[in-house]
Structure 1
Amino acid sequence: MTTTENRPGSTTVTEVIDWSAAPTPSDEAGWLERARAVRRILERDAAARDRAGATPYDEVALLKEAGLVTLLGPVEHGGGGQEWPTAYRVIREVAAGDGSIGQLLGYHLLWFWAARLVGTPEQIEAVEADATRNRWFFGGAVNPRDQDLRIRDDGDEIVYDGRKSFSTGSRVSDVTVLEGVLEGTDTHVFAIVPSAQDGIVFHDDWDNIGQRLTESGSVTITDVRVPWASAAGFVDKVFQPRVYNTLNVPTIQLVFVSFYLGIARGALETGAEYTRTVTRPWLHGGHDRAVDEPYQLDLYGDYQSKLWAAEALADAVAAEGLALHRDAWNVTAQQRGEHEVRVAAVKARATEVALEITGGIFEGLGARATAAGLAFDRFWRNIRTHTLHDPVAYKRREVGARLLRDELPEPTWYS
């Protein structure tokens, strides 16, 4: 990696790896090894970077140079040619090193892929080619809890105006995905626009307890113009609907699952290393090493078992989703609904396991591990912050409704 020059407020990633000297990975094993190399770089100073909370220019440069931003891109344009099950595992690896950067990568890959979910075949080909060749990093201003952006039809163009509370990726993105409603209709329109333009103002007001480097603050959109030809899925100003359009929600929920489980693994493995090397045995326990304490063995055994189970479920659900992605134009409402129920189940389980591990790991560390400089609390803060994105109780309800009443969830922005 060649680090970017230090901009004002930029963090510094000091590891130097010449990624260009190594062959581009051609299979999942190769991409996972590359993701682990990125993780090893990020985790070395993750606590300090979390504390600084600076804009992660260097971290995004690392993702680009390692090739992870084009993981899903076409091989003929220089991309990795991989599919979602691999992408989810790569996100997990990166999130184990730094939860914020895992989230940024996950959101980027979703928006990179969004043309395939919503666009026409011609738009898909054009967007994926340009995004891969230019190594675009995607952000998105599509928070459905806010009032929709307003869109007016101006002949050959549409014009976006409004404000969103969250815009993950903001200043580190090359392009931003916008979504709004066409005036006088209930028609939603997605489009990809350059992030650096006068009509997009990022307010740098993300100041939450966790996921501090995700650049998720608010944004104001003023008179941002897009050709009708770039309105995703529209032909002659008319949307071409298909069931596959609604798979964006199960996909983003599995992205969430991926960085939740990655953060949990980061907490577990970082905690285990601290327990092996620093934690002292209890003076009345009769053991010379902390790793011989029965309660330590029980704690870590319990957490590892729960994490393995959640990861296995996540992998199984990802494989089920891959079958739908591969038959994109023929997905039925029944197939979509059944998949969403399984996604809801793994989202609920990943949330619970990640909160338990990141909060409970302190039992295996000891009081000295609460020192601010170690920042072991960052794992819990990161999980606690993002798992409030949408209530997990509604995920469990979807599963219960399927089991008890044979009901499938209707597609919404969250299900």
Structure 2
Amino acid sequence: MTNTLSRPTTDFTTLPTPRTEEEWLERARLVRGLLAADAAARDAAGATPYAEVALLKDAGLVTLLGPVEHGGGGQEWPTAYRVIREVAAGDGSIGQLLGYHLLWFWAARLVGTPEQIAQVEAEATRQRWFFGGAVNPRDADVVIRDEGDEIVYTGRKSFSTGSKVSDVTVLEGVVEDTDTHVFAIVPSDQPAITFHDDWDNVGQRLTESGSVTLDGVRVPWEAAAGFRDKVFTPRTYNTMNVPVIQLVFVAFYLGIARGALEEAAQYTRGSTRAWLHSGLERAVDEPYVIDTYGDLTAKLWAVEALADAVAAEALPIHRDPDALTERARGEHEVRVAAVKARATDVALEVTSRVFEVLGARATTSTLAFDRFWRNVRTHTLHDPVAYKRREVGRHVLVDELPTPTWYS
């Protein structure tokens, strides 16, 4: 089944191409509005979000990080995180899809050779590729056979966000009888890749995050990211995948929370009734309602400000990757861990507590206010937030820096 956006969309070809950060944020707000209009109905339908991904492409958001000379936005990560936040406020699933896409679009810069980076970004921008990824580290490693000029991926991954809506998929595996990990970008639509359509979770229902089987996916060695003559030269910058993806998570957690809070406030202004014993005529005059919105808004604003600050702190790293030291990377990851912990707590609180100020009639399935909490609750289990707090605590107490892993 395919999702169909149930209202007219915008003809983005009639709009000027955004150039500045504020113009891109305004474009993201426009996309947010289009998604929010029927987000509850599409969440209930749970259909493959082809139309939603087409919207992201038409709006230019999929090439936000792409080179301007090839038609991309030429933006940097602080803007990208804020764009993800806006889109997620309209639809948490689509915010996650965009965030993961931008991560994998950028991943060539993380591990690729200069020639690979230029080639991938040019082609991905010109063709408006939408990226998916099959890189779940909790599964057994995908096995790679070295067959001379080619490598061949075989195995299974439990999660493959983007799956059927992606044009290309990032694969990761280990060359058999070695500890050599290899990333590669491959076409998603090929006989050797089977997406199983088994994503059936309570939240983030439209992320196409089901399992995938790789049955002999062939890749030329020259396309193995970062390899020359079958040898990979490691850099400290290779370990920046975790700080970036964790800030992507923060972005759509905060976006979902903001969407919940703003949609709840709109409902409270128009539909929530004052309590019959309050002596008040309007819910917006109820002291406990005012206090709750003030409390939740203040907490959300604080974490948004921290997220923006941590994103800005990483700009020198991304602009000069070869200058990154292990200590600078570790200190940045501690800051990322801190904002990830706070974003998790605040997003869960906001999406749960809004019901206190909505009233019983707002629990109808048609309004689907529960989708905000379901979306946050589902993805915040990605990795235990206690381990993020541990990174911060160990650094404060004994100056310990996180050891780079798939999660730290």
Q: 1:13 touches 1:59 (CA, 8 Å); kept in 2? A: no
Shift of 1:18: 1.6
Mapped partners of 1:12, 1:351: distance in 2: 30
1:72 alignment counterpart = 65
1:327 alignment counterpart = 320
Mapped partners of 1:289, 1:323: distance in 2: 50
Alignment of 1:303-322 (within 5 A): 303-322=296-315
Q: 1:46 touches 1:98 (CA, 8 Å); kept in 2? A: yes
Q: 2:132 touches 2:170 (CA, 8 Å); kept in 1? A: yes
The Cα offsets for residues 4-23 of structure 1, whole Å up to 9 and x where unpaired, read as xxxx4333343221211111
Mapped partners of 1:149, 1:13: distance in 2: 40
Larger CA deviation: 212-221 vs 324-333: 324-333
Q: Which amino acid aligns with 1:412?
A: T
The Cα offsets for residues 185-233 of structure 1, whole Å up to 9 and x where unpaired, read as 1111000000000000000000000000000000000100001011001
Mapped partners of 1:10, 1:400: distance in 2: 45
1:389 alignment counterpart = 382
Mapped partners of 1:14, 1:225: distance in 2: 41
1:3 alignment counterpart = none
Shift of 1:116: 0.3
Pick the aligned partner of 1:257 from 250, 253, 268. Answer: 250
Mapped partners of 2:77, 2:313: distance in 1: 11
Provide the aligned length of Structure 1 versus Structure 2: 408
Mapped partners of 1:107, 1:14: distance in 2: 26
User: Structure 2 unaligned runs (5+)?
Assistant: none
Residue 137 (structure 2) pairs with residue 144 (structure 1) = yes
Q: 1:119 touches 1:232 (CA, 8 Å); kept in 2? A: yes
Pick the aligned partner of 2:186 from 189, 193, 197. Answer: 193
CA RMSD of aligned residues (A): 0.6
Q: 2:203 touches 2:378 (CA, 8 Å); kept in 1? A: yes
Residue 17 (structure 2) pairs with residue 24 (structure 1) = yes
The Cα offsets for residues 17-48 of structure 1, whole Å up to 9 and x where unpaired, read as 12111111111000000000000000010000
Mapped partners of 1:144, 1:11: distance in 2: 33
1:99 alignment counterpart = 92
Partner SS state of residue 31, structure 1: helix
Partner SS state of residue 288, structure 1: coil
Mapped partners of 1:83, 1:25: distance in 2: 14
Q: Give the TM-score taking structure 2 as reference length.
A: 0.99
1:298 alignment counterpart = 291
1:348 alignment counterpart = 341
Q: 2:3 touches 2:42 (CA, 8 Å); kept in 1? A: no
Mapped partners of 2:239, 2:29: distance in 1: 32
Residue 212 (structure 2) pairs with residue 219 (structure 1) = yes
Alignment of 1:162-181 (within 5 A): 162-181=155-174
Partner SS state of residue 221, structure 1: strand
Shift of 1:383: 0.2
Q: Which amino acid aligns with 1:118?
A: V
Q: Which amino acid aligns with 2:397?
A: L
Pick the aligned partner of 1:279 from 272, 277, 284. Answer: 272
What percent identity do the matched residue pairs reach?
A: 77
Q: 1:13 touches 1:41 (CA, 8 Å); kept in 2? A: no
Partner SS state of residue 286, structure 1: coil
Pick the aligned partner of 2:350 from 341, 349, 357. Answer: 357
Change (3 A) 1:70 1:13: farther
Shift of 1:66: 0.1
1:58 alignment counterpart = 51
Partner SS state of residue 54, structure 1: coil
User: Structure 1 unaligned runs (5+)?
Assistant: 1-7
Partner SS state of residue 374, structure 1: coil
Q: 1:13 touches 1:42 (CA, 8 Å); kept in 2? A: no
The Cα offsets for residues 80-122 of structure 1, whole Å up to 9 and x where unpaired, read as 0000000000000000000000000000000000000110111
Q: Which amino acid aligns with 2:25?
A: L
